[in-house]
Amino acid sequence: MQCAREKPEEALKTTDKVHAESRERFGFPPKPPRNPEGILCGMCANNCKIGVGDIGFCGLVLNVDKQLVRKGGTPEKGIVQWYYDQLPTNCVAWWVCPGCTSAGYPKHAYKRGVETGYSNLAIFYGACSMDCLFCQNWHHRNLGAKLESVMTAESLAAKANPQVSCICFFGGDPSVQMPHALKTGEIGLRKAEQEKRILRVCWETNGYWKEEFALKAAELSLVSGGNIKFDLKTWDENLSRALCGVTNAPTLRSFKMIGKRFLEKRLDLPILTASTLLVPGYIDIEEIRNLASFIAEVDSKLPYTLLAFYPHYVMTDLPTTSEELAVRCRDIAEEYLENVRIGNIQLFG
């Protein structure tokens, strides 16, 4: 961590090599392409400019004979997996969710307490706008090659039957397939409204959204009683480049924008929450202090979850988060925020 803060050029030389090697096995470029003669993708905050014969950072967009070809992300074609997750779920934001706490009852929740008998339609998108070396769901990189993972927004929305009270888009990340996700949410919500039933639209994202898509996503959550859970991975920009392969500026910008524009429109339950994975040796007290202070600038009442780390993907040589670190980080966060929780406590080393 100190190396990334104090000697970023040296640190990034090492981590850039690791990113390049790990991505090469999937046929992905080491960094978001910036070909001056390429075509702008415009799907996420990476703003890839893809040259002829090249592929975008997410692995879903190709430049074929000077035409962009999208393997997924359009309303007609999404690279996804889905399943029914019975309530109560293990969602990071469960402790403020209407489906698990009755917050927003009766408009946005069926029951006082847990909505037993109902499910969350969990929609896992098979691509991402970041390249986190600690990714817990790195297998999403394999979904683009599987035909059974391709679905239209309409067919996916049809899975939201009357026993489904919420949809959650996650992954990977929905940021690189937003037209598909938004269409799915719109169709599902419209049908639920016609049938006079509850269907909350939720997002679990790294926040690497284009502004247009971020605002549409927030609007769906606003009207449906859903929640947007931002994974605030880092505060230090160089640490973000080292661990996630890209700058964290778009994430922080999206979080603040949604908070400023939407929080006052729904006061009965939070539309916005955040979480941070406590990666030993990297996400330390200083990072949490800065992130908590940033969140508090938006609203000190916003729920914030600190998650224990489990070694995965490239970073398998690290220990799990210690209880001592988690408690110290919680105490620091509580100096700025009113609602802080430690999650994944079963992983404490």
Give me the chain's average pLDDT, please: 94
239-253 in b/e form (b: 16+ CB < 10 A) is bbbbbbbbbbebbbe
Tokens of 348: 């404490």
Tokens of 212: 């247009």
Name the DSSP letter for residue 346.
G
Least confident interval from 155-164, 264-273, 319-328: 264-273
211-234 in b/e form (b: 16+ CB < 10 A) is eebbebbbbbbbebbbbbbbbbbb
| Measured distance CA(212)–CA(156) in Å, rounded | 23
Do residues 160 and 121 touch, judged by C-beta distance below 8 A? yes
Do residues 251 and 208 touch, judged by C-beta distance below 8 A? yes
Do residues 172 and 122 touch, judged by C-beta distance below 8 A? no
Question: Is residue 147 pLDDT above 70, yes or no?
Answer: no
Q: What is the pLDDT of residues 91-105, one digit of tens each?
A: 899 999 999 998 999
| Measured distance CA(35)–CA(50) in Å, rounded | 6
Question: Is residue 279 pLDDT above 80, yes or no?
Answer: yes
Q: What is the pLDDT of residues 195-219, one digit of tens each?
A: 999 999 999 999 999 999 999 999 9
pLDDT tier at 8, thresholds 50, 70, 90: confident
Q: What is the pLDDT of residue 348?
A: 80
Question: Is residue 5 pLDDT above 80, yes or no?
Answer: no
| Measured distance CA(118)–CA(112) in Å, rounded | 13
If we measure between CA atoms, which residue out of 222, 192, 228, 206 comes closest to residue 302? Answer: 228
pTM: 0.95
pLDDT tier at 291, thresholds 50, 70, 90: very high
Q: What is the pLDDT of residue 269?
A: 85
Q: Look at the block and give the residue holding tokens 């100096």.
A: 335
Q: Which CATH number applies to 78-274? A: 3.20.20.70
Q: Would you list the domain boundaries of the chain?
A: 2-70, 78-274
pLDDT tier at 148, thresholds 50, 70, 90: low
**CA atoms within 13 A of residue 155's CA, in its CB half-sphere:** 12
CA distances from 190 to 158, 240, 249 (A): 11, 38, 34
Do residues 79 and 143 touch, judged by C-beta distance below 8 A? yes
Do residues 152 and 123 touch, judged by C-beta distance below 8 A? no
Task: Express as a percent the part of the chain with pLDDT over 90.
Answer: 87
Which residues contact residue 96 at a Cβ distance below 8 angstroms, ignoring those fewer than 6 apart? 103, 227, 269, 270, 273, 303, 339
Question: Is residue 346 pLDDT above 90, yes or no?
Answer: no
β-bridge pairing 78-86 and 67-70: unpaired
